[in-house]
Amino acid sequence: MRTAKFWVGTGLAGALALGYGCGSNSQNPTPQEATQQNPDAGTDAGVLLTLTDAQIARVLQVANAGEVMLGQYAAPLSTDPAIQAFNQKMETEHTAVKQRLDALLATEGIVPEDSALSLQLQQEVQQMMAVLSGPNAPPAGTARDLALISAQVAAHARVAFIGDSLLTTQVTNPALQQELLTERQTVQTHLDEATNLQSGLVLPPTTP
């Protein structure tokens, strides 16, 4: 089984959740970009992580559950209808994906197992929500909407990076591999939508 280096990036999620008002990638990097900007982070803060199919299954469960939680949390806090609708969509679609995944795991006889990665993902979602509800959270309005959608961008970018660098290189069960590919496409679609919404708030259209 292949191994890959997993950058824990504990503080990244909270930093990205407060990425409102930052229009450039240098200020609001994806995990991959952050590692490129600080190569030592991947060495000093990372571990060599080997995942079994059971652990990969758990990572997928946690990633989808985290998106459901984030959507449920953010939707009522949003004042922009588009941001609110996106978070409601995340709750609905990731719930459906998790249900499909659970059915596949039952069929394949795969019992999900926690790993350092799945536990880290759970912690990061909690950190995001803590930052968004903490004393330094932005006030209601555009600033808060931008923080909420920036959290979605960060969460989806994180999962996309993990999927590409760790999960797809190690999964062995064919059915789980296909599910992983399907979920990766869904994550990319959501990431593109969230990025467009974020850009619209950072750089609103100008009137000719």
In tens, the pLDDT along 28-63 reads 443 344 334 433 333 333 456 899 999 999 999 999
DSSP assignment, residue 203? Answer: S
- Confirm if 155 and 29 have CB atoms less than 8 A apart: no
**Residue-number span of the structural domain to which 83 is assigned:** 4-202
Tell me the mean pLDDT in the region 80-100: 97
How much is the pTM?
Answer: 0.78
Whether residue 66 lies inside any domain: the answer is yes
CATH number at residue 76: 1.20.1260.10
Whether residue 207 lies inside any domain: the answer is no
Length of the chain: 208
pLDDT band at 135 (very low <50, low <70, confident <90, very high): confident
Quote the strand ranges of the chain, DSSP E.
4-7, 46-49
pLDDT for residue 208: 57
Instruction: Give per-residue burial for 7-22: e unless 16+ CB within 10 Å, then b.
Output: bbbeebbbbbbbbbeb
First to last CA, the chain: 57
Domain tally, the chain: 1
In tens, the pLDDT along 148-190 reads 999 999 999 999 999 999 999 999 999 999 999 999 999 999 9
CB within 8 A of 120, min separation 6: which ones? 8, 10
